[in-house]
Chain A
Amino acid sequence: MDDSTILKVENLTKTFPGVRALNKVDFELKKGEIHALIGENGAGKSTLMHIIGGVLKPDSGKIMLEGKPVSFSSVHDAIKAGISMVFQELSLVSSLSVGENIFANRQPVGAMDRIQWGKLYRLTKEFLQRFKLDLNPKTLVKNLSMGQQQTLEILKALSSNPKIILLDEPTSSLTEEEIAHLFENIRALQKQGMSFMYITHKLSEVFQIADRVTVLRDGNYIGTRPVNEVSENNLISMMVGREIKSMYGTSKETVDSEEYFRVEDFARKGRFRNISLSLRKGEILGIAGLVGAGRTEFARAIFGLDSKDSGRIYLDGRLLNIRRPKDAIREGIAYITEDRKNLGLFLTLTLRENCIAPILEKFSSRIGLLKGALVDQYVENRTREFSIVAPSMYQKVINLSGGNQQKVLLAMWIGIRPKVVIFDEPTRGVDVGARADIYAKLRELSSKGTGIIMISSDLPELLGMCDRILVMHQGEITGEVRRADFSEETIMAYATGLANSIANNNHTA
């Protein structure tokens, strides 16, 4: 191994009861490199990172840090050796100050274990200034924004002066602007010689930030490539292990089909205003926009989850009166939430119970008991139809992968036989293989005439799936783009408010 290698992992194996999470995996990190680690859920990315960061112990294999073999028995050990890990979920204490979080349990102390507060805040100030972060060291963490917290999380990892930083999906809860800022900071640190290992689900990030990329699949090492020598499709086939020719399928022309669902003049003070849209049978209509543009709030209002100040909904020419989700479900409108863990699924219940949750009455006998055999039959069919991978229908949903959870959620809502499906972030946290399955299912629905409204922050997904895209910016629709005119630039221009083709029309109308 040459001098530029700072960390080398060889033959690493880790088994959990029933699963081989890592099988003789190799990994090499060069000094000053940003190295992306990708793979589907369950590929072993997080396990590998957790072993390097001292969270888990490997069964066999070795880790060499700057040429010397190391073995960590705790995160604390790894930090002392110069490896700091930034966790996917925040590890901050919200009731404590910025300073106390950065110097967690390492506060400067004087006689009798007494914390030197003045020194603590001065050190914090100096540290924040070094990273050009304008924060008051005494501010409580609970008063910071999500993005500031994520940055603080990375600063906390930096405060122990590490040589290597491990990042596990650091951008999953950030806005575009915050991501840009984060990347700037990472690049600045890279220039100072810091090395990064970077787990991400977003392939576009690999090309934005990484120098090299390593792919894992089912616990096996698949390969490492310099980023400028691979394409997104190469990476996808490395991850999935099969060629996915056309992830999104082909769109069927729907321009001629009948317009059957219309939303008019939706408004809610401070959230969205002047929103109208129409949907044709079998059409896939995208709603693009930045986080906070009001897309989810608008969808929730259609479904009757949130109140609205004004707005009318027509289905097949009939004016609907939707005041609560129950009304929407009765009319055949399904809203599939972006937050499957908190709002979508009953995590501690089984796959079987989840599948039938919105349609219990279909399986009830006259005195209100469930007909078990009917349910079994139904759930078996759904599981097969949606290619849900689970050991049995009695598996708790919390134990399924993100992709399979998302399929359960979709199966649940297709069960109400909706006429209109509103799907909010259909593939967030879902790996490539399951994404292809979900897209195929959506295509199938649309070919049967169901209209689909797809809200997504993943532009390639919208461009690949939709027949037409509406773009929202600060609570208003700023643009409508037809498939023939699709381009990321056009949509981003509308989404950031640089362009507006709708507002003018409204004024003239």
Chain B
Amino acid sequence: MGFKGFLRSIVAFRESVLILLLLLFGIAMSFVSPYFMTWPNIEAILLGLSVEGTIAVGMVILLVAGGLDLSVGSTLALTGVVTGLALTAGVPVWLSIICGLLAALGVGLINGILVAKLKINSFITTLGMQITARGILLVIAGGRAVINLPKEFCFIGQGRLFDVQIPIYVMIFLVVLGDFLMRQSRFFRQNYYLGGNERAARMSGINVNSLQIFDFCLVALLAGISGLLLTARFGSSSVTVGGGMELRVITACIIGGASLSGGEGSVLGAFLGALLLSVLANSLNLMGVDVYWQNLVTGLILIIAVVFDVLTERRRAVRK
């Protein structure tokens, strides 16, 4: 493998392209705005990212396994509302948190069972669940935000450790753990077989149904954790939070190298994809660009990433 081959293999490695892009972008931005490379700005980016970044860990695993979850935004809001209602009803903090996470798990379990056992397409299942879960939380919250949550609870979202807010630690921990597991653990690598070729997965003794259910529960649980941290950060549970989040998370995963047809993707890639989108949004803000431009740029990046994929695949096919 010569230098050219080496370069090609680096380019084929999605994560390195994203890191390179981020670096170039960071350097360019630090000239444009002196505020960009300061810790308060970086922390603000990471904090904003922590919600999507955490969910992306579960989403990319599900995408690798050939699934998809459109209900994560609703699950996130549902967890916040259930926990908030429990807290205002005087339930201890730890028990309220468990209630919220159980609600999230419930959503994941139902999604998983519908997809794995009844073989309903995951797009339709989770689209239905997105609307249903949002409906449930609107009903139980009476359509209003739950406010005035106790300080002990708010600490998990607002507390700082070594001058860094807790949700950032949670996200980084989950990204590192998730990436490690998806590369090294036999159990988690089953997802690549499942998404790459379901029949082959069955034949090699993989319990396809339970793995699918596990993946849906995992992404719902991570959405739940994000919901808790977000609720704690704001000190209130909003009923509208998380709307449209599922598509932003999926966008990040795909920019990070995942494919909607399964079998491809990595946790690190998904995280970098989400980071790239956050950094871009932040930069546009710093440059004083109208907020409406963000959608345009995000959309373009998604399309460029997919076109890039198609072109590299095609070149490979020609070389064959």
Contact = CB atoms under 8 A, between A and B. Distances in A.
A115 interface: yes
A499 B204 CA distance: 48
Interface string B52-90: 000000000000000000000000000000000000000
Interface string B174-193: 00000000001111011011
B203 interface: yes
B180 to A, nearest CB: 9
Contact of B186 (A96, A113, A143): A113
Interface in B183-217: 184-187, 189-190, 192-193, 196-197, 199-206
Contact of A94 (B185, B201, B202, B263): B263
Interface residues of A, number: 25
B316 interface: yes
A75 B203 contact: yes
B205 A105 contact: yes
Given A75-B203, A105-B206, A106-B204, A95 B185 contact: no
Contacts of B204: 76, 104-106
Given A92-B197, A115-B184, A75 B192 contact: no
A142 interface: yes
A370 interface: no
Given A114-B184, A143-B316, A95 B203 contact: no
B264 interface: yes
A116 to B, nearest CB: 10
A75 B263 CA distance: 22
Which label, helix, strand, loop or mixed, suits the secondary structure of the A interface?
A: loop
Contacts, number: 68
A114 B185 contact: yes
A144 to B, nearest CB: 8
Contact of B192 (A74, A91, A93, A114): A93
A104 B196 CA distance: 12
B4 interface: no
A168 to B, nearest CB: 13
A327 B202 CA distance: 48
A107 interface: yes
Q: Contact size class for B? A: 20 to 34
Q: Which of A90, A91, A113 gathers most chain B CB within 10 Å?
A: A91
A208 interface: no
A365 interface: no
Contacts of B185: 112-115
A145 interface: yes
A76 B205 contact: yes
Contact of B196 (A76, A96, A106, A145): A96
Interface in A108-144: 109, 112-115, 142-143
Given A95-B196, A143-B320, A115 B202 contact: no
B205 to A, nearest CB: 4
A115 B192 CA distance: 14
Interface in B22-50: none
| Residue of A94, A95, A114 with highest tally of chain B CB at under 10 A | A95
A162 to B, nearest CB: 13
A109 B202 contact: no
A91 B199 contact: yes
B264 A95 contact: yes
Nearest to B183: A115
A125 to B, nearest CB: 18
A145 B185 CA distance: 29
Contacts of A100: 189, 192
A137 to B, nearest CB: 16
A213 to B, nearest CB: 27
A75 B198 CA distance: 14
A96 B202 contact: no
A93 B186 contact: no
A142 B205 CA distance: 23
Q: Which residue, of B185, B192, B197, B316, has the highest number of chain A Cβ atoms within 10 A?
A: B197
A115 B189 contact: yes
Nearest to A117: B184
B203 A91 contact: yes
10 contacts: A93-B196, A93-B197, A96-B263, A104-B204, A105-B186, A114-B184, A114-B186, A115-B184, A115-B186, A143-B316
